[in-house]
Structure 1
Amino acid sequence: MNLESPTINVSKSPEEVFNFLADVKNFEALMPENISKFEVLSEDTFIFALKGMPEITLKKKELIPPNKIVLGAAGGKIDFSLVGEITQKEDATSDVQLKFNGDFNPMMAMMIKGPITKFIETLANSIPKAI
């Protein structure tokens, strides 16, 4: 299952956006209002939970400054990734898009498609306000 957020324009350079997203503690500022837990476990790993959902642990898997950050599932039964793609538009402006990739059975995919789509849209829309 591959889901994409809308592309969000940010009034910051790709380096500034990349540095913000590369620091896992900054993801707390991007989370939706219904977050029930957020904890930084290490400099590259954090755990969070939304009300009514299981806890999810994300770990930095790949960093390609200043254009790409890949976070992936750290343990658990489900393998997925959250990719942040950053492209420069003008001198101090960037476009950011989040992509979710996961391998789920059709029933699971149908159940989580809506909530995951809303979640990555919330994260993406929060980036310009949080930086």
Structure 2
Amino acid sequence: MTVIQNQAIIDKSVGHVYGFLADCNNHEQLMPDTIYNWSSTRDEARFTVQNMAKLALRIDRRIENSEVRLIPLEKAPFDVILRWELSTQGDNQTVARLIIEADLNMMMKMVAVKPLQQLVDHQVDRLRLLMA
């Protein structure tokens, strides 16, 4: 299993950050420009990755003020889990960590790790900016 992650310290309460991440409708704001054809509900998101594929994700688990986990709604090119982990740090600060766990064979790993790391970095940075 390949694990890709990044984190940021957000100057908002863990409840505020969790409330944003627990709704898939908000995740479009975290996506890079290479994502289009976005449609979502509170629990699911469907979109196209430029020059790649259509994806559909659903929230599989919500642990209030702690975790939001997304998994593919339909068959994906590889098994993947996206997980936002949240924890309180001091007064009114939240550590938000995005973790992608992907079951990549060696060939897929060579092709996919860099774009997945860029996606994680972009989403974490966007969350920090949106919550500022």
The normalised TM-score by structure 1 is 0.92
Asked whether 1:19 is paired with 2:19, we answer yes
Structure 1 gaps, min length 5: none
What are the Cα deviations for residues 97-127 of structure 1, in whole angstroms up to 9, with x where unaligned? 1000011211111110000110111011100
Q: Which aligned pairs between 1:1-131 and structure 2 lie closer than 5 A?
A: 1-5=2-6, 7-40=7-40, 42-77=41-76, 78-131=78-131
- Please tell me the residue identity of whatever aligns with 1:75: E
Shift of 1:43: 2.6
Deviation, structure 1 residue 128 = 2.1
The residue type equivalent to 1:4 in the other structure is Q
Amino acid at match of 2:66: N
CA drift of 1:38 comes to 1.0
Give the AA of the match of 2:97. Answer: Q
The letter of the residue matching 1:3 is I
Structure 2 residue matching 1:90: 3-state secondary structure: coil
Gaps spanning 5+ residues in structure 2: where?
Answer: none
Deviation readout 1:41-68 (Å, 9 max, x if unpaired): x431111222112111110011111011
Shift of 1:25: 0.4
TM-score between the two structures when normalised by the length of structure 2 = 0.92
Structure-2 separation of matches of 1:125 and 1:49: 21
Report which stretch shifted further, 74-83 or 15-24. 74-83
Amino acid at match of 1:96: A
Given that residues 47 and 56 in structure 2 are in contact (C-alpha distance below 8 angstroms), is that contact kept between their aligned partners in structure 1?
A: yes
SS at match of 1:52: coil
- Where do 4+ consecutive residues of structure 1 move more than 6 Å? none
Percent sequence identity over matched residues?
23
* Deviations, residues 2-25 of structure 1 (Å, cap 9, x unaligned): 1112x2011111111011000100
Alignment partners' CA distance in 2, 1:34 and 1:80: 19
